[in-house]
Amino acid sequence: MTKTTAQSVSEQEQLTEIRNQIDAIDQQIQQLIGERAACAHKVAEIKTQGGKVDAVFYRPEREAQVLRAVKERNDSLLPDKEMAKLFREIMSTCLALEQPISVAYLGPEGSYSHSSVIKQFGTAAHPVAVSSIEEVFSVVEKGEVNYGIVPVENSTEGEVKATQDELLKSSLKVSGELELAVDHCLLSHATSSDKVSKVLAHQQALGQCREWLKNNLPWAELEAVSSNAAAAKIAQEDPSVAAIASEQAADLYQLPILEYHISDSKANTTRFWVLGREDVEPSGEDKTALVLSIKNEAGALLKILDAFAKRHINMTRIISRPSKSKNWDYVFFIDLIGHQHDENLKEALQEVVEQAAFVKILGSFPISPL
């Protein structure tokens, strides 16, 4: 026997031994996942006992607690986030066993909103593409789907106006929040960037890549379309057109990637909110979102902010938008750390209700562990 063959036999023996270990571990994991699924099935029975028809199966606060615990006890070679993603999938299939969950998003397939559905709900949920942010709100309101996901703000471009304006009118509750890294690519059948005469993308994506486009494709005509995925569909048909979209969209629409990482800010991130019809219980690490308008008097906004400041309630965002009911009349969207059931936040909100002209709590929801 040659040395190489002897070595490879011993390599084979080592592999066989470790693969036997993997087989035994997989058997245990499978057994345990099966037992977990049976527990989820029992949970569903408890939630529907007595013929309850309006049972709520998706519990974002519980999911956040499970994922936080996974990250907390993780001492494996896998990064915390990757371990949490595996459990995200296990819970997604357990929830599907209780009730198949449909989630509306701004389509078409391959949009960042689509990726956000999978990140938040896992692959066992049914993503339902609709054609506008307004429609995401309306299909959830009408009960045509269980939940919706909408972009709220982007780290480069700021707030998503359509979402803010719908939140003001809607009766829906913000039930969850997640952040998605938005890493744009330039997709096209063009053989090189200099053959591209037109770049299509959603207005937000064009804004997020403004500098890169100016420096690298100064000759190209820029045109805003309804979504990046819609841009990719057009680029499929015309090699002089490039679309700005994600790597996933390149796969889905089978478009070559001409350039990677073209966002002006390399940390470009979009925050999404989950919309539901029910309030969410505290998870232990939560946020509360509200919208209010102030009385027309000196120091009115200061008094409201003081209600939070004196109780050490951390405000993570404040933006103003036209109220749309009267010219030069504004509403303020405020995000706070804490749940509306927390004693100090409850007190602060009572004070704000007395001080403000109008207050609407959009919802309390877990801070995302993913």
Ligand X SMILES: O=C(O)C(=O)C[C@]1(C(=O)O)C=C[C@@H](O)C=C1
Task: Find the shortest distance in angstroms from Cβ 336 to ligand X.
Answer: 24
**67 lies in the site for ligand X, by CB under 6 A:** no
Number of residues lying near ligand X (CB under 6 A): 12
Residue 183, C-beta contacts closer than 8 angstroms, at least 6 positions apart: 246, 247, 260, 261, 263, 268
Q: Find the binder of ligand X among 64, 84, 95, 130 (CB under 6 A).
A: 95
Which H helix or E strand runs over 171? none
**Which residue number, 65 or 216, has a Cβ lying nearer to ligand X?**
65
Catalytic residue among 87, 121, 137, 272: 272
CA distances from 336 to 245, 285, 289, 294, 323 (A): 32, 11, 6, 18, 21
Among 64, 67, 84, 91, binds ligand X (CB under 6 A): 91
The SS3 call for residue 289 is strand
Verify binding: residue 40, ligand X, rule CB under 6 A.
yes
Active site residue 87: no
Is 272 known to be catalytic?
yes
Report the distance separating Cα 162 and Cα 328, nearest Å: 19
Least Cβ distance, residue 370 to ligand X (angstroms)? 14
Residue nearer to ligand X on the CB measure, 61 or 335: 61
Residue recorded with tokens 């956040």: 64
**59 is a contact residue toward ligand X (CB under 6 A):** yes
Rounded-to-integer distance, Cα 283 and Cα 175, Å: 12
* Minimal distance, residue 153 CB to ligand X, in Å: 25
Instruction: State the nearest-atom distance from the C-beta of 94 to ligand X, in Å.
Output: 3
303 is an interface residue for ligand X by CB under 6 A: no
Which residues in 269-290 are b (16+ Cβ under 10 Å) and which e?
ebbbbbbbeeebebbebbbbbb
Taking the CB of residue 28, how many other CB atoms lie within 10 A of it?
9
Stretches 53-61, 144-152, 192-200, 358-366: which one binds ligand X (CB under 6 A)? Answer: 53-61
Q: Is 63 in the site for ligand X (CB under 6 A)?
A: yes
How far apart (Å, rounded) are the C-alpha atoms in residues 89 and 68? 15
Tally: H helices and E strands in the chain:
12, 15
| 66 lies in the site for ligand X, by CB under 6 A | yes
Does residue 225 belong to the site contacting ligand X (CB under 6 A)? no
Q: Output 101 or 231, the one with its CB closest to ligand X.
A: 101
Q: Name the segment binding ligand X (CB under 6 A); options: 20-28, 92-100, 106-114, 238-246.
A: 92-100
Backbone φ/ψ region at 50: left (φ over 0), alpha (ψ -120 to 50), beta: left
Residue ranges that bind ligand X, judged by CB under 6 A: 40, 43, 57-59, 62-63, 66, 91, 94-95, 98
- The residues annotated as belonging to the active site are 270, 272
